[in-house]
Amino acid sequence: MWLQMQESVAENQSLKPANETLSCTESSDQGLGGPPELTELYRTFSVNNLGLLWTAKAFLPSMARRNHGHFLIVASQAGYLATAGIVDYAATKAAAIAIYEGLQTEMKHVHKAPAVRVSCISPSAVNAKMFAGIKGSSNFILPRLTPDDVGSLIAETLWGGEAKNVLTPAFAYISAPTPVLPEWLRVGMQDGGADIMTEITPHKPVN
């Protein structure tokens, strides 16, 4: 049913004039607060990854045909640097980043639609119910974001008209190169934040 609704909306959007900007933002967050049960794992990957792919399938073809539009994915800093307590969530956000990278190059080289912008925003922890119980680091070093902070960044990116890959706040960029760091350094960075998410108790919006 959800996929049919997406396809219906996408078809309606495709009727708009070619000079009218079409943007689509996909933001799915499910899976914090482990260890998860098997059904919870299915739900996490279904919402955060399959939902993202279905949204792309519904909206990107019409953008590609017109070589016009902006598709924005909201991932997470956890997609670059996983930590204890949110392994399943971090895995889905790493996949979301891979989907962003793949869609961006496919629009340009496979669909010959270089003017379709594909962007990705990866926030750190947001001061919202889903992060209840997080053990925050110094607010000066890694300030807790608000929903308005993330929303404003999404709006700025879409209105800016350029494809971007953004981590926020600025200190979050330290996570991006960790996969290629020497093992002792990567593990040391993970050890430094090993207990940040271990007592997280988010609400369950779909229960």
Residue 135 within any structural domain of the chain: yes
CATH code, 105: 3.40.50.720
Residue 125 within any structural domain of the chain: yes
Question: Once rounded to an integer, what is the mean pLDDT over residues 2-27?
Answer: 52
Dihedral over alpha carbons 96, 73, 197, 193 (to 10 degrees):
80
Residue 149 within any structural domain of the chain: yes
Residue 4 within any structural domain of the chain: no
**Which pTM value belongs to this model?**
0.81
Residue-range definition of the domain harbouring residue 37: 23-192
Residue 169 within any structural domain of the chain: yes
Q: What is the pLDDT of residues 30-83, one digit of tens each?
A: 555 555 678 888 888 999 999 999 999 999 999 999 999 999 999 999 999 988
Task: Indicate whether 162 pLDDT > 50.
Answer: yes
Residue 3 within any structural domain of the chain: no
Domains identified in the chain, total number: 1
* Residues 70 and 158: beta-carbon distance below 8 Å: yes
- Distance from C-alpha of 99 to C-alpha of 120, rounded to nearest angstrom: 10
Residue 117 within any structural domain of the chain: yes
- Distance from C-alpha of 23 to C-alpha of 13, rounded to nearest angstrom: 10
Instruction: State whether residue 118 is helix, strand or coil.
Output: strand
By annotation, the residues acting in catalysis are 89
Residue 9 within any structural domain of the chain: no
